[in-house]
């Protein structure tokens, strides 16, 4: 088994991915410190929630449910229209790390996810600072 399969199974599969994504978007909408991040998203977060759930399911080693519906993720290309600097990256990470904590994703699997999320979020930056 790959590391990502272990991550998907270790966190509890689709139910935990759904819980994590829902908490992530709930926090984004509730926390004033994340207002800039929230404003980068559409008013109705239904599609954003679904896309992140589908993407994370496959990214963590679960079934590939994103690509059949939306095509290749092209993660960086899909985010190029948005100005993503260190501030936006950090807001995204704060939100995701808090969602992980609130959903009870801790210890080794949490550390692995934090590192993977950081690397991916940092790669998404398209602004110098």
Condensed to tens digits (0 to 9), the pLDDT of residues 71-83 reads 999 999 999 999 9
* pTM (2 d.p.): 0.92
Q: For the chain, which residues make up each domain, given as ranges?
A: 3-123
Query: What is the average pLDDT score of the chain?
Result: 93
Residue 2 has pLDDT above 70, yes or no: no
Helix (H, G, I), strand (E, B) or coil at 81: coil
Tell me the pLDDT tens digit for each residue of 31-46: 999 999 999 999 999 9
Phi, psi of 41 (to 5 degrees): -110, 160
Residue 5 has pLDDT above 50, yes or no: no
Residue 1 has pLDDT above 70, yes or no: no
Task: Give me the architecture of the 3-123 domain, per CATH.
Answer: Orthogonal Bundle (1.10)
Q: Residue 82: which residues within 8 A CB-CB, separation 6 or more?
A: 40, 88, 126
Q: Residue 99: which residues within 8 A CB-CB, separation 6 or more?
A: 20, 21, 23, 24, 27
- What per-residue confidence (pLDDT) applies to 107? 85
């Amino acid at each position: 088994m790959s590391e990502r399969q272990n991550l998907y199974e270790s966190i509890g599969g689709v139910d935990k991915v759904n819980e994590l994504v829902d908490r992530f978007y709930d926090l984004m909408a509730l926390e004033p410190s994340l207002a800039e991040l929230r404003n980068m998203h559409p008013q109705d977060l239904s599609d954003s929630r679904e896309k992140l759930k589908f993407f994370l399911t496959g990214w963590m080693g679960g079934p590939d449910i994103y690509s059949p519906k939306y095509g290749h993720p092209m993660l960086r290309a899909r985010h190029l229209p948005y100005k993503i600097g260190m501030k936006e990256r950090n807001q995204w990470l704060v939100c995701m790390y808090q969602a992980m904590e609130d959903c009870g994703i801790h210890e080794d699997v949490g550390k692995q996810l934090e590192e993977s999320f950081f690397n991916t979020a940092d790669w998404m930056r398209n602004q110098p600072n």
